[in-house]
Copies of this chain bind each other. A is one copy, B any other.
Amino acid sequence: MINPEMLKLGTERCYIRELAEYGAQQAKIVGREHVYDFSIGNPSVPAPQAVKEAFLHLIDEVDALAVHSYTAAPGMVEARAAVAEDLNRRYGTDLRAENFFFTYGASAALTAVIRALAVPGAELLAMAPYFPEYRPFAENNGMKFVVVPAEETFQIPLQALEERITPHTQAVLVNSPNNPSGVVYSRSSLESLAGLLEKKSREIGHPIYIIADEPYRELVYDGTEVPFIPTIYPNTVVCYSYSKSLSLPGERIGYFCVPDQAQDSRELWDAAAGAARAMGHICAPSLQQRVVALCAGCRPDLESYDRSRMALYTALTAYGYECIKPTGAFYMFVKAPEGDGRAFSDRAKAKNLLVAPGEDFGCPAYFRVSTCVDTDMIRRSLPVFRALMDEA
């Protein structure tokens, strides 16, 4: 008498996590220096000093009853206002505290928004390559998950997307900078997407929302622009996490934001708040909310991410690997020389080099390399990458 879908979700093997565990095991056998783990996307840069100081200030100098108390379900007004102000300053928007709802990170924001849009038959579109958890988030919160095959450059596959829009399409997931490709959607791509969605929304008689999943918004290189999607397409809900931008992945602090300009803005915000309530949301961690209030303008130190990205990109392409140059996040998505990402991942594993096969991201010919790793491990891994190409 146990729910079989939940049991399946709870027992499914996660290949990427198993790779990382295998790596930890192998390190004990062959030595840490002979294992090259590029499997998981954990920030490798510590939280900014200002974040540490904010924590210390809150714990040491502020009344404990106040610091640890329940906040309103959507979060402290001061914290939400601080985030609104930071975005307004950067993007010329007119967001207010009331547009925001703090959640347990971007995942909880996504599930709340998905459930808010889950009407009978509802469909959610995701463009490959995509973050694998999108599928269970959609399928277990009342939406059909529809994959749009990738475009060669991992930009927006506009025609394939158009072909998959139906009267049931409620939203399109947009994840830029992208996990796993590291690609940032250009302003012109996003404008084309906006044009398409406006046209199709009119045709089907209801808005198709963009759900912008933006945990990597601040992780961008070479001066690449990351357009703020609500300024291009008003029917956009933003889901955000401080996991990467403040290097607080375990602390579970993020938000959803429904701008006033979105159609049925208040109803959508309310329904997502209701969905969060249904899932047991009381408030996002109060200490973390207060840190965000103090550090909303902090930016991550990108230098070491950039160095790792360039070291790997330069070497791998020199060895003959094909890869779109990543300009954001901390991943690169590489075509397997044998055209099969799982086969490559298995070959690599045999040499204690761990990369995630692309199948779970919707692109079976590719593998993902997490570049948020130390540069010394990169240096040691390069002969292995070269050998894997030579043997292909």
Chain A positions near chain B (C-beta within 8 angstroms): 1-3, 5-12, 42-47, 51-52, 55-56, 59-60, 63-65, 67-71, 103-105, 107-112, 115-119, 122, 133, 136-137, 140-142, 170, 206-207, 247-252, 264, 267-275, 277-289
Contacts and interface: CB of A to CB of B under 8 A. Distances in A.
Q: Which of A11, A105, A140, A251 has the most CB of B within 10 A?
A: A251
Contacts of A247: 64-65, 68
A8 B137 contact: no
A45 to B, nearest CB: 8
A271 B3 contact: yes
Given A1-B206, A282-B252, A274 B68 contact: no
Given A8-B274, A10-B275, A68-B247, 8 more contacts: A1-B117, A1-B122, A3-B142, A6-B115, A51-B64, A56-B60, A107-B280, A249-B286
A111 B6 CA distance: 12
A105 B284 CA distance: 11
A251 B64 CA distance: 12
In the A-B complex, list the 10 residue pairs whose CB atoms are closest, starting with the nearest: A250-B286, A10-B274, A9-B274, A140-B278, A108-B280, A10-B270, A107-B280, A111-B280, A10-B273, A6-B274
A14 B333 CA distance: 48
B142 A68 contact: no
Contacts of A59: 52, 55-56, 59
Contacts of A207: 1
Contacts of A43: 65
B9 A278 contact: yes
A310 to B, nearest CB: 22
B7 A270 contact: yes
Given A250-B285, A250-B287, A64 B42 contact: no
Contacts of A273: 9-10
Contacts of A269: 10
A293 B136 CA distance: 31
23 contacts: A2-B116, A2-B268, A3-B115, A3-B119, A7-B267, A7-B274, A8-B274, A9-B277, A9-B278, A10-B271, A11-B274, A46-B65, A47-B68, A68-B247, A104-B252, A104-B280, A104-B285, A107-B282, A111-B280, A141-B278, A250-B286, A251-B287, A252-B285
B1 A119 contact: yes
Nearest to A10: B274
Contacts of A110: 280
Contacts of A280: 103-105, 107-112, 137, 279
Given A10-B274, A278-B140, A282-B107, A3 B42 contact: no
Contacts of A141: 278-279
A52 B64 contact: yes
A255 B149 CA distance: 39
A9 B63 CA distance: 33
